[in-house]
Amino acid sequence: MMAFGFGTHPPAGGRICVVGAGFMGCVIATLYARHGYEVVLCDSQTAMLDSYAERARPIAATLADDTLTVEAILGRVSTEASLKTAVAGVFMVHEVVQEVLETKQAVFEELDRLCPPDVVLATNTSSFLISDIAAGMSRRERMVGIHYITPAHIIPVIEIIHSAFTPPELVAWGRAFVQSIDHVGVACPERPGFLINKIQFAMLTEIYRLMDEGLASRDDIDAAVRLSLGPRLALWGPLLTEDLIVSKKTALAVTESLFHQTGDENYAGRKVLRDLVDQGHLGAATGQGWYRFEDDVDQVTEERDRQLRALLDWLREAGPVERLNVR
């Protein structure tokens, strides 16, 4: 595996520069500090740097425990307006500036010039292709997307976005880094929407259409997702959920029916699903679908129902929507 100056894993307690002291930069810097890294937060607006500790204190409070106080976390973050000074001695720079392509390109061109070749350069972009951001770099092979999902200090998944020029070793390094802050990395090649937004907006786009056409109300849509799809997805994800609740033959028949009724190519049965049907891998009932099941279907079903009932009981008792006091 290629070594990026600091070996195949990030150095424990190493130095990271976070560029951009807005909301996400504030959260990310605090999160890195919580997990033992020395952090330099850089922003050209000194007012943002001056207000960091005040803005970060509530975030640090959610991360503190008996082994590390809020003050200890905040004490690991220093601020610096000069990018040249901020990147001295770092093993990684994480860019979290505003989502404007030209701004990000300018930052990375300067980082490419300032940082030695063994420094990993990461972007938190939520929409741009990393190849576009890196267009002006001379050593773009050390660039990777490390994209957090809001709220970043609570949601445990981070997208690791790679391009055609990203070596597999850097993707593996990214996974190791994400693991070091107790998060889970999911790798995906650069595509519009990456992985999570692509999935999220596939659902939201359909929801917007339902509302535009007056087919369902706001409350009915949220109830439908929150009390049916949502708990299952939270417990198992979409593919394991399908294994647990429906035969692949039925799933294929439903998606084909939707395609024929609507003419929408997005509903056309995909090869990956047809292949499972052809192989007889229909889900828990046959012992294999997207996943292979070690227990028989009755045991799996019993455990499935126990987990789902427990989560729905918790939702009912917790009343999360009611506690938000919305109308």
Q: Give residue limits of the domains in the chain.
A: 15-192, 216-318
Please, which contacts does 142-147 make with residues 24 or more away whose CB atoms are closer than 8 Å? 142/4, 142/117, 142/118, 142/170, 143/108, 144/120, 144/170, 144/171, 144/174, 145/190, 145/194, 146/94, 146/122, 146/174, 146/177, 146/178, 147/123, 147/194
Looking at residue 1, its pLDDT comes to 41
Q: Encode pLDDT of 169-188 as tens digits.
A: 999 999 999 999 999 999 99
In CATH terms, the fold of domain 216-318 is N-(1-d-carboxylethyl)-l-norvaline Dehydrogenase; domain 2 (1.10.1040)
Q: What sign for the dihedral angle of Cα 53, 57, 60, 65? A: positive
Span of 6-15, 211-220, 299-308 with lowest mean pLDDT: 6-15
Token pair of 270 as six digits: 């995909």
In whole angstroms, what is the distance from residue 218 CA to residue 258 CA?
A: 23
| C-alpha closest to that of 196 among 187, 205, 207 | 187
Percentage of the chain beyond pLDDT 70 is 98
For residue 8, what pLDDT band results from cuts at 50, 70 and 90?
A: confident
In whole angstroms, what is the distance from residue 180 CA to residue 65 CA?
A: 17
Span of 1-15, 152-166, 247-261 with lowest mean pLDDT: 1-15
Q: In angstroms, how far is CA 188 from the centroid of its own chain?
A: 10
Residue type (1 letter), 112: D
Mean pLDDT for the chain?
Answer: 95
Which listed CATH number (3.40.50.1820, 3.40.50.720, 2.70.98.40, 3.30.1490.20) goes with 15-192? Answer: 3.40.50.720
Looking at residue 5, its pLDDT comes to 56
**Cross-strand partners of 144:** 122
